[in-house]
Structure 1
Amino acid sequence: MELHPLLGSLQLTVPEGQGCFDCPPVDQVLPQFLRLFACGGPQGTGSNAEAGMTRDLLAILEAVGCQWLFGGGCQNAAPKLLRDLAVALCHYAAPLQQEPEEGDAGSPYAAVADRAEDAGLVLCNVVAKVEAAKGLGSAAVGSALRQLAGPAFVFAVTHVADTPWSKARSRSLAQELLDGLLRASDCRSVPEFLRGAREGEDGWFAAVMQCLKPELTKETWQRNPATKHVFSSMLLQVTRPWLSQHLEKVLPPSLLLSDDYRVENKILGVQCLHHIIRNVPAADLCHFNRAQVVYHALSHHLYSKEAQLMQVVLPCLLDLLPILERAPQRLAAPSDEVLRLVLTHMETEHRLSLRRVYARSLPAFVERLGIQVARHLKRLQQVIVGYLEVSDGPEEAARLATLETLKRTIQHAWPRMTCRLTVLLKALLRMMWDVVTDSSSTPEPVKNALLQRATECLLLLDHSSHGQVKVLLQGVLRSCQDEHLKEYLQKVQEEPTKSLSPPELKKEI
């Protein structure tokens, strides 16, 4: 049989006694192919030559069986060659960061999807042959899968999502490659592929991270816009207890992302850090002062004015604080430091989007501190009164969350409420009057929710002040002209006053 045109150009020789083979052995074909690929083709002519070679190689692979990869005397060479091939194809189809050329109105990644399609066809063929060769019983097959899995998975995840550097065909091939990898490794899902199919069995996470490692340094991670998405999507699929053994591999890239100047990268980095905090034991995070490093990285974001960033930073800090406070206490606990800073920003914040984010997180901070929230009552009272005064739109998310904050504050710090009763009572009544006289587009269920939560706060204040709220409300009820508001105030008057401890306060309301 005549050699394929690419084989002829490689000037290969068939060893004596092997003339019956349709083409030379794999350990002759792939090394020369990889050398030519590295220099851009037989004449070093760039991407067109690389595309031609990729299609020629696909034609060769389609013409041979799986025995060609693992038969003959090349068993030891095949696994490493397949890994080098997968790495070369990853680089060939990588969406490297690039600026549009002058006069080019199209995407700077327009050609990447075409390259990914050619490379994906080759990798799908190789993985299919590895899967078929499992029945041969060759030790080289298992070794080939170990070498191939990392770069092939990176390629698949890079091109499987709907991104500027993909198209329908390249995404379809990437999904086909991913499915082939799962079948070849006897896994039913991507999380199982990464962490291991059975108890005590290592997955492919370490192999994939080893492949990604050169792309995740401070100098290299921004060259390829797909790298951060591959890393984050892979990380988020590995959970407790498997993630702890990979902590040293995943923590530095997550910190690197969160420290970037672009908001979208900061958000992605914080999401990665939050996943690590939730899925790694506290003892491992405290070891080598890792938790403190993460805390410093997150605390810098508290000065941001980006609502989307704060929306992920505050919940992340809330989950980190219990871990930090297991360590020996400093003069000021991290929870106090964070709440003090959050309240400072809340006092002066006028953007409604950021006010909502702060207000939604505040109840959890109060719950976290418990009775120790009494240290912050002066500042907390100012924030509560200020946020109850301002409507934040039809959903009233900030006001509802602020009422929840007040409720939890009273439950935890009830002995300190009597001296603040007048200010808080005025703020609640003023807000309730605003709600019942509101003629805007606020839905009735939202208004009712505000009035109901305000009533709960009035009841708690009454219990904590030994009935003083009922006395002060008597004059309000006599002069109130709105029947709807009187209905809620009457509930407070009819409720028997009790002297309760904090646990009983929580149970009652």
Structure 2
Amino acid sequence: MEDLLKAVETLHTNSEVSESVCKATKEVITKTYVPQMKVGYERPLEESDFKNFIPVFEKNLKVLCGEHKSEAQWTSTVTRKLSDELLNSLCEICKCTSSVELLVGQESNINAKVPYLSEHLSSVLPTALITVDDFNTETQVFGISCLEHIIEHVTRTELNWYGQGDVIYKALERLLYHREAELIRPLLRCVVLLLGKLEGGYTSHDNNYKWSRYDDVLQIVLQNTEHEQNIPLRRAYMDSLPTLLDASKMGVIRWSKRLLRILREYLEVAGYSEHDSAIPILQV
């Protein structure tokens, strides 16, 4: 291992790397990948699942950094520190300003956005959908942020290829029944972004009173919201409803009676801090 590190350090002054060094580096990298876990379907992953691997990571990480850049169950303070040092050294060697540029080149500022993302949609979408379907709420929120980025940077037409937009909607619809406050805001923001491309006409002037998936979402959300006693969850719904109601346009009329009933209930029993949350909904 020490010999390998010395060989890697010579990259600072010599760009030629022998075949033996390349082979040894590849072996270290392969052995240092975050291991595949056989659990995960019956329970979430835990830090204890990786306790036998972290010492190996700390030893070998000077030649591998991607999976240890951010805090996770399989990282430690040592591995994250080494990751930063390694990335900084690689950026210096390759004359890059960031790790993103190091990985995808100078076009990194647009590489994963319009019009490039559509070329990779079939590759990135399945991973995002799997992440959204995780046990852990934090992981689900991360998956939602990935889907939000995908939705934002593909066109309406591309979302309709092979029914991919409908697949995303089904994945998000299942989460609407979850009752975690930290999930509600990003989830409803993502749903509104998606339906903005899947529902309605092609211009902002198109509008009608037909039942749509906006109504399906409102039906679930209002059912969850009514009689809710958990204050953080109430605040999450109150903060998210104005955007959803505004996106529903004239269709919101069919829900006005139920909305007023919920708002009255919340205002009657809620503390002063929740009065501010109700005002934007009344303004819609």
Matched, 1:319 2:193: yes
1:334 corresponds to which of 213, 226, 233: 213
Distance 1:272 1:63 in 2: 38
Structure 2: runs of 5+ lacking an equivalent: 40-46, 203-207
Structure 1: runs of 5+ lacking an equivalent: 1-53, 71-77, 100-105, 124-154, 204-237, 409-509
For residue 55 of structure 1, what is the aligned residue in structure 2? Answer: 2
For residue 90 of structure 1, what is the aligned residue in structure 2? Answer: 29
Distance 1:195 1:59 in 2: 27
Q: Which one-letter code corresponds to 1:337 in the other structure? A: D
Measure how far apart 1:113 and its partner are: 4.4
1:351 corresponds to which of 230, 245, 252: 230
For residue 405 of structure 1, what is the aligned residue in structure 2? Answer: 281
2:269 corresponds to which of 372, 390, 414: 390
| Secondary structure in structure 1 of the residue aligned to 2:17 | helix
1:119 corresponds to which of 48, 52, 60: 60
Distance 1:303 1:168 in 2: 37
Matched, 1:249 2:123: yes
Measure how far apart 1:114 and its partner are: 4.0
For residue 273 of structure 1, what is the aligned residue in structure 2? Answer: 147
Distance 2:136 2:252 in 1: 34
What per-residue deviation string (whole Å, max 9, x for no partner) do you get for residues 190-235 of structure 1? 3334443149x996xxxxxxxxxxxxxxxxxxxxxxxxxxxxxxxx
Matches within 5 A, 1:424-435: none
Distance 1:167 1:270 in 2: 26
For residue 84 of structure 2, what is the aligned residue in structure 1? Answer: 175
Q: Which one-letter code corresponds to 1:92 in the other structure? A: K
Q: Which one-letter code corresponds to 1:115 in the other structure? A: V
Q: Which one-letter code corresponds to 1:388 in the other structure? A: L
Measure how far apart 1:284 and its partner are: 1.6
Change (3 A) 1:302 1:68: closer
2:17 corresponds to which of 56, 69, 86: 69
Tell me, yes or no, if the aligned pair for 1:114 and 1:170 is still in contact at 8 Å. Answer: no
Tell me, yes or no, if the aligned pair for 2:209 and 2:251 is still in contact at 8 Å. Answer: no
Distance 2:34 2:283 in 1: 52
For residue 161 of structure 1, what is the aligned residue in structure 2? Answer: 70
Q: Percent identity?
A: 29
Change (3 A) 1:377 1:244: same
Measure how far apart 1:372 and its partner are: 2.5
Measure how far apart 1:343 and its partner are: 1.3
What per-residue deviation string (whole Å, max 9, x for no partner) do you get for residues 127-157 of structure 1? xxxxxxxxxxxxxxxxxxxxxxxxxxxx312
Q: Which one-letter code corresponds to 1:55 in the other structure? A: E
Tell me, yes or no, if the aligned pair for 2:228 and 2:234 is still in contact at 8 Å. Answer: yes
Q: Which one-letter code corresponds to 1:304 in the other structure? A: H
Change (3 A) 1:167 1:343: closer
Aligned residues: 270
Matches within 5 A, 1:7-22: none
TM-score normalised by L of structure 1: 0.47
Supply the RMSD in Å over aligned alpha carbons.
3.4
| Secondary structure in structure 2 of the residue aligned to 1:348 | coil
Question: Which structure has the bigger radius of gyration?
Answer: 1
Distance 1:169 1:292 in 2: 43
Q: With a CA cutoff of 8 Å and minimum separation of 6, indicate the structure with the bigger relative contact order.
A: 2
What per-residue deviation string (whole Å, max 9, x for no partner) do you get for residues 425-456 of structure 1? xxxxxxxxxxxxxxxxxxxxxxxxxxxxxxxx
Measure how far apart 1:257 and its partner are: 1.1
Measure how far apart 1:108 and its partner are: 5.8
The range that moved more, 84-93 or 283-292, is: 84-93
Measure how far apart 1:89 and its partner are: 2.2
